[in-house]
Structure 1
């Protein structure tokens, strides 16, 4: 058994992970069966590795004995040993997460820190085929898409799982036949945890259905992974065809084009999943919602804008403070750019980023502020006044665009809707004595 299993593991490393043979590795070791076997196998293959152990301080003396056991294992294998203690319960309470989630976050954050600080190339964990099946069933019970059914990845950035091909029975047989010693975590038998309940009550019954159940499951996982890769390639194609960049922070989806692909809810899932959206029924309803409707993820906002959906990053609240410009000042930095004011002799070309005004008509200090309901101005080149809300509607400005509007004001009067339209009251006339050129960059 020793030679057979070791030979299979060696071939697996050579076929799938040959880069590990020349890498500096860190093995995450709890002291349990799986991680002890992984450490022993890597040692027999002559891999260059160290061992890392987390003491979560959840089982009193038992946790300390686990730590001492792993320290001795590292000593016996003549490899360096890294350890850390966590106040897991305190962290879980502070972060309002479960003990299991707290422990996972703490250990993976520490592994990443070791990777950076100590120069490890990869971190090996001892997940195996039964872990994969349990994860599949957990995700299935909670409701998931195909990405939740493809199992634990063998390679996930710096984390490598070289035992994922093998079952727990294979690992146990190897350990038993070679008289290996390991620690048993008493909490692993507590069926109040979902994973343990699946491990001890569901999986054994599934395995009785067929002697080849786990093998067939691995085949299914392989098929799902291939399907997922195909789906990803199609999603990439659709993204290239349908997503339109408005600026660095905003993407636009034409609704009519989205509908051409059919199954809009599914398309929206694959288009928006990476932006953190989860309430997919609400997302689908955006297609028929009134313009201006918006929903949020933790990082992004989805806005209905007439015949489009807009995706934009959620930023820290932009300040609504007013900025003053004294007469002696010629430059002001605001969130949307830098205003420059310069006296000139001759009027040059006009564009949306440049206006020319009669200085004598201005009241100092000038003010730059956000627009608000009820604001009105006298559009340059037109007679009469117009509410900004009406102007924005006529210009078909989106909700996002309106939120980014800044005004240059003289007293209570608007001089310029910055980047859009100047006010007629401040235009230069034949009798104008001093012309100011105002630009935004």
Structure 2
């Protein structure tokens, strides 16, 4: 197995050479064998072991074993104990999902603090088959049937081309010791049921079933790659970047067929799951929206506006008399000037003596009004926004600079207020610039 493993690293994963690698090691045969293979291949690895404290003395025994393994191999080891059941209850997760979250959170911390470049896991061909069958049983698209990726950002799985049978045979031939996890024999978990009850039957029906599956999975991965390339090209044409948001023509979307498949492919990466609601948005009234945990999709006239949901603080910010105030959500520069220059959307000149300092920067509110520069009389901001053709998201992002008595001085980046303009009698002029 070792020559085949080394050839696989040389041909498919040469980027691992010379890098600092963190190998997730449970103490089981798969991860222990991977550790031995990596050391034999002169890869620079350290071990990371999670003690999830779920199997009492057995968990502690695994920890001791991994520490001894690191000593035997002459490599660094990191160990962390977790209160997994408590974490699962607090976050309302299954124990398996809690363990996964805790594991990868810690691995990410080690990458950042200890200078590792990649995480190695010991997933193999049988794991990929089991994942395929789990996803198939739950209902999935082509991505779910494409199996476990060999490389997913900083997570690398060098053993995916190898079967569990190959790994076991190598471990026994090299007299490699490992720990048996008693929970792997239990069929109360779905993955174990598939491993112990379904996969053996499939192999009995066709002795080369695993290899046939790997061939099929390779075809699915190639098809998925073609689809992804097409969708990325389509996004570059349909997704118009605008002030941090994405604007998409509904007319262009409706021309795509099959529409359901295209909507899923274009918007799945933004966390949406209610696909009927996404589709209904195309014919909904303006202002309707669909929200995921991370993004919002808003209907605005003939377009959909896709925006990221950010944890922003809507409130008021004090703006003092001059300089470039810090701690503001936008950059403003205030300076005293002697002469009046050309005023624009991002620059205003105001009569300083008409202002009450500190000024206040805030979001717009329903009922707000101002006196647009160059016009007679007041105008509600809602009407001004409509005339400016601002969509809902742009309105939410709009900032107002107000005198401390809450009179609007400037609809920032749009229009100054007539009441604070520079006149012949003005003695002090203040220039305010919105910086990009």
Q: Is the 8 A contact 2:314 2:363 kept in 1?
A: no
Structure 1 counterpart SS, 2:316: coil
Q: Is the 8 A contact 1:366 1:408 kept in 2?
A: no
Q: Tell me, in whole angstroms, the C-alpha distance in 1 between the residues paired with 2:290 and 2:115.
A: 42
User: 1:14-63 deviations in whole A, cap 9, x for unaligned?
Assistant: 43334556555443322222223333444555555444432221111111
Structure 1 pair 435/262, CA: closer, same or farther in 2 (3 Å)? farther
Structure 2 equivalent of residue 393 of structure 1: 386
Residue 402 (structure 1) aligned to one of 378, 395, 398: 395
User: Where does 1:162-311 land on structure 2 (aligned, <5 Å)?
Assistant: 162-176=158-172, 180-247=176-243, 249-311=244-306
Residue 346 (structure 2) aligned to one of 347, 350, 353: 353
Structure 1 equivalent of residue 372 of structure 2: 379
5+ residue gaps, structure 1: none
Q: Tell me, in whole angstroms, the C-alpha distance in 1 between the residues paired with 2:355 and 2:21.
A: 69
Deviation for aligned residue 1:226: 0.8
Q: Is the 8 A contact 2:70 2:76 kept in 1?
A: yes
Structure 1 pair 116/382, CA: closer, same or farther in 2 (3 Å)? closer
User: 1:285-330 deviations in whole A, cap 9, x for unaligned?
Assistant: 22222212233333332222211122223233333226476xxx34
1:370 and 2:363 aligned: yes
Q: Tell me, in whole angstroms, the C-alpha distance in 2 between the residues paired with 1:350 and 1:85.
A: 63
User: 1:78-112 deviations in whole A, cap 9, x for unaligned?
Assistant: 54444332222223233332211222233333334
Q: Structure 1 residues 110-119 or 294-303, which shifts more? A: 110-119
Q: Name the larger-Rg structure.
A: 1
Q: Tell me, in whole angstroms, the C-alpha distance in 2 between the residues paired with 1:91 and 1:438.
A: 54
Q: Tell me, in whole angstroms, the C-alpha distance in 1 between the residues paired with 2:399 and 2:16.
A: 56
Structure 1 runs of 4+ with >6 Å offset: none
5+ residue gaps, structure 2: none
Q: TM-score w.r.t. structure 1 length?
A: 0.85
Residue 331 (structure 2) aligned to one of 321, 327, 337: 337
Structure 1 equivalent of residue 58 of structure 2: 62
Q: Is the 8 A contact 1:124 1:159 kept in 2?
A: yes
Deviation for aligned residue 1:160: 2.7
Residue 35 (structure 1) aligned to one of 25, 31, 34: 31
**How many residues end up aligned between the 2 structures?**
430
Q: Is the 8 A contact 1:358 1:432 kept in 2?
A: no
User: 1:335-391 deviations in whole A, cap 9, x for unaligned?
Assistant: 33315364644x43232233445567x363475343322233333334443322122
Q: Tell me, in whole angstroms, the C-alpha distance in 1 between the residues paired with 2:14 and 2:335.
A: 64
Q: Is the 8 A contact 2:422 2:429 kept in 1?
A: no
Q: Is the 8 A contact 1:354 1:437 kept in 2?
A: no
Quote the RMSD (CA, aligned, Å): 3.0
Q: Tell me, in whole angstroms, the C-alpha distance in 2 between the residues paired with 1:353 and 1:48.
A: 54
Q: TM-score w.r.t. structure 2 length?
A: 0.86
Q: Is the 8 A contact 1:287 1:304 kept in 2?
A: yes
User: Where does 1:89-104 land on structure 2 (aligned, <5 Å)?
Assistant: 89-104=85-100
